[in-house]
Structure 1
Amino acid sequence: MQKRLLIIGFVWPEPNSSAAGSRMMQLISCFKSDDYSITFASACTKTDHAFDLGSLGIEQVTIVLNQSSFDDFIITLQPDVVLFDRFMTEEQYGWRVAQHCPDALRILDTEDLHCLRKGRQQAFKEQLPFDNSYLFNEIAKREIASIYRCDLSLIISEAEYELLTQVFKVEVSLLYYLPFLLKPVADSTISNLPDFNERKHFVTIGNFLHPPNDQSILYLKHTIWPLIRKQLPQAELHIFGAYVSQKISQLHNETQGFLVKGYVEDVAEVIQKARVCLAPLQFGAGLKGKLIDAMQNGTPSVMSSIAAEGMFGNMEASGSITDDVHEFANSAVTLYTHSSIWKEFQSNGFDIINTRFQHSDFQTDFLQLIKDLLTILKTHRQENFIGQMLQHHHMQSTKFMSKWIEEKNK
């Protein structure tokens, strides 16, 4: 019998707008390869950038927060597997899933560790070094509880997997390292990419609803770009991304070569034209989609240590990694002007994509793990008493709060 997957989305996937959107489409592709019947549900408003899931034969359902209508929906659907897109959706709907579909496998896709990003953002705001006192924040209490309540959580970064097991002491049986699931970059694709001399200018890209991207553009504008521009007065920085705010739009300055171009339908096309990608993120978490896009399109990068986190493993990076402002600018200039260094970093990028993020290296094992968990689900949950305890208390508190809100809104 065909198995049914319900994905509860925090947002509707926008693969051309964010790494999270690309990640969701990769997961959907993975489940489709195993012939799952997929329903995608979200309470979020769908934008013009949202992918048409119906074109893939996926049922799309709009759900409502704090409404018992969701109970009727899931009782009728009776999914075998429920995938929560980020811990916030598990908080809202997890107790309803547990109550009405107790035999459904509950999977959390963390996207990235929100508590890590939040802690780093707070340390950055206070201009202090990040340590575990920033990590153990209110978001951490919610996020780690969500991980325990689920049967399996997907972790996109090795660094975050280590943090969960070593610092938060989460059992490895509840976690699964699943990075970006990519196709190999073929030799024929590489040979058709523009070479060093056919490219010009710098590029950066990101969804501007995401605070780390927003801050990195301010950092580039006021601190890094003037240093690069002083050495390369003809160079330009092209800034692409969805949901550009007025604050970012106002940074556009053609005289300074600082060009805010906004949303682009084809990311590959604009990255292939650029010679160097800049990613000076000062806080954040997870794997950075902009670096993946750059490597896939043969564009070396200069990046901060946070941008590079979890990306390269023991392999040589696809560019320079530094948190020093002057070193960052000088590395960008060197990479822009030295073809031999540029070609070496470009080659590293192709090796990284083809070695660390191949869907074929993870997909079969992941799908088999799901099958195994479905057969031993009762035992698996018995071994996670903390999760049972948290589920019990969460169900009681959230259930009655949700019902109160529903009554209040009538």
Structure 2
Amino acid sequence: MLNKIKSWFSVPQSEVALTHDFLDPSKKTILIIDDDLPQHDKSSGSKRLFELLKLFKKLNLNIVFLPNNGLKLEPYYTELKQYGVEVLLNNPDRKGLLKTLNQLLNKIDYAWISRPMLNIEFQKLIKKNKNTKIIFDTVDLHFVRMLRQAENENNEKLKRKALKFKKLELELANKSDATITVTDTEKVLLENENIKNVYVVPNIHQLQIPLQEISFKDRKGIVFIGGYKHEPNIDAVKWFMHEILPKIWNSLDKIPVYLLGSFPTNEISAFANENVFVPGYIEDVSEYFLKSKVFIAPLRYGAGMKGKIGQSLEFGLPIVSTSIGAEGMNLIHENNVLIADEADDFANEVIRLYQNENLWKEIKENAFKAIVAYTPKVVESKLETIFKNLGA
């Protein structure tokens, strides 16, 4: 199946060729490959990867980053350079980029490759150096997300596609020296398929405790965040707006709703009115988390750890989520989150949380405790174990 998928090419962009003397011979070298430079302020996947780069630096590794599109996106390129990350760009085009990569192959100890399609693209090339350890970062298990969407939409064609993708992801995992999932749930799924050397590397979060806390009675509104290039987020907002919010407004009047996130589609933007705000990309969203009363994650399908849930936990903003939204973070209903999977139940939980100060305070306090498992120190320890086991 892998051999049937061809390479794709990116827009040329010139860049000064690397001399390779940036690699400290006393350190091991890790190559990271993703679709583009991590735009950490626009998606949870990019935020996770950006935080991982910082941890790789703490682990005393030379770091080389290859964006598959070969483009020098600012300010992200400059940020990586400031962290001591070398970036391979089109030089002057993709052919030059791949030539530079070939010249580096014998210096690479670990290749951390994101997502299935990039592993198809690069695993064989990188394995020219038999000593390089391939690390397949699933980001999320695509076949799980696709199967859930197919079930939600009763779509047999998508189900067949998902099963083909499952075969592909398992094949890639078998060819890798280590496979990374973001949750224990996905790790167990792969191990049940006889995949070896599976490790959990979750999203990375830090507590965001303000100097002056805004009280329950002074907060107002419901907030959601999610990039709208991701289909599960679009579905979540549509379900919430059509089937859940009318029930909430019927009980709580028209409290404000903030639909945050980059790249809102025309369909999402059309929800905007005097009570619903769709601002698009905002560099700093902290104000919304600090002043709103409830965070919602009405995800009906998806996979992996949801960055939006972690982001809300960082601020201690109480959450109402579906089971799929809360998946993989060991969250407990009525302890650190409220969980509901039907529209009526979801609306009722939002209303209850919005009105019950004692419940709100309990969920908030426990939310801060829940995020500790995803702090940089904990994830750094997980990475140390992976590299120790891989040797190289």
Asked if TM exceeds 0.5, the reply is: yes
Which residue number corresponds to residue 295 of structure 1?
A: 313
Task: Report what 1:364 is aligned to.
Answer: 381
Question: Deviation of residue 29 (structure 1)?
Answer: 1.3
Identify which range, 70-79 or 204-213, moves more after superposition. 70-79
Secondary structure at 1:198 match in 2: coil
- d(CA) in 1 for partners of 2:36, 2:335: 32
Task: Give the whole-Å Cα distance in 2 for the aligned partners of 1:118 and 1:181.
Answer: 25
Higher helix share: 1
User: Please, which of 334, 340, 346 is the counterpart of residue 352 of structure 2?
Assistant: 334
- Of 72, 76, 80 in structure 2, the residue corresponding to residue 53 of structure 1 is 80
Pairing 1:112-191 to 2, within 5 Å after superposition: 112-126=140-154, 137-166=163-192, 168-171=193-196, 174-183=197-206, 185=207, 189=209
| 2:338 maps to which of 320, 324, 328 | 320
Taking a change above 3 Å as real, the CA distance of residues 46 and 75 of structure 1, as seen in their structure-2 partners, is closer
- Cα deviation per residue 1:347-383 (whole Å; 9 max; x = unaligned)? 11111012x22332341342243134225xxxxxxxx
**What one-letter code is carried by the residue in structure 1 that aligns with 2:183?**
S
- The correspondence of residues 238-277 of structure 1 with structure 2, limited to 5 A, is 238-254=258-274, 257-277=275-295
Q: Could you say if the C-alpha distance between residues 289 and 46 of structure 1 is closer, same or farther in structure 2, counting changes exceeding 3 Å?
A: farther
* 1:230 alignment counterpart: 250
Alignment gaps of 5+ in structure 2? 1-25
Q: Alpha-carbon deviation of 1:71? A: 4.7
Amino acid aligned to 1:245: T
Report if the CA contact (8 A) 2:66-2:88 is conserved. Answer: yes
* Equivalent residue in structure 2 for 1:353, among 360, 371, 379: 371
Q: Distance in 2 between matches of 1:111 and 1:304?
A: 20
Choose from 117, 138, 145 the match for 1:88: 117
- Separation of aligned partners in 1, 2:170 and 2:111: 18
Q: Which residue does 1:286 correspond to in 2? A: 304
**Matched-pair contact (CA < 8 Å) for 1:41–1:63:** no
Matched, 1:62 2:94: no
- Cα deviation for residue 197 of structure 1 reads 2.0
Question: Is 2:239 the counterpart of 1:216?
Answer: no
Deviation of residue 192 (structure 1)? 3.1
AA aligned to 1:88 is M
SS of 2:54 mapped into structure 1? helix
CA RMSD of aligned residues (A): 2.4
Q: Structure 1 residues 103-112 or 134-143, which shifts more?
A: 134-143
Distance 1:67 1:18 in 2: 25
Deviation at 1:34, TM superposition (A): 1.2
C-alpha distance in 2 between matches for 1:102 and 1:180: 30
Cα displacement (A) at 1:137: 1.0
User: What is the aligned partner in structure 1 of residue 9 from structure 2?
Assistant: none
Question: Which secondary structure does the structure 1 equivalent of 2:140 belong to?
Answer: coil
Separation (CA, whole Å) in 2 of partners of 1:309 and 1:223:
22
Q: 1:98 aligns with which of 115, 127, 132?
A: 127
Alignment partners' CA distance in 1, 2:332 and 2:349: 21
TM-score (normalised: structure 1): 0.82
Residue number in structure 2 paired with 1:36: 61
Residue type of the alignment partner of 2:356 = H
For residue 126 of structure 1, report the CA deviation from its aligned partner.
1.1
Query: Aligned-pair distance for 1:191?
Result: 6.2
- Once the 2 structures are TM-superposed, how far is the Cα of residue 230 of structure 1 from its aligned partner? 1.0
- Cα shift at 1:50: 4.3
Judged with a 3 Å threshold, the aligned counterparts in structure 2 of structure 1 residues 46 and 324 are, in CA distance, closer, same or farther, namely farther
Normalised to the residue count of structure 2, the TM-score between the two structures is 0.86
User: 1:49, CA displacement in angstroms?
Assistant: 7.3
Instruction: State the AA in 2 paired with 1:207.
Output: G
Partner of 1:23: 48
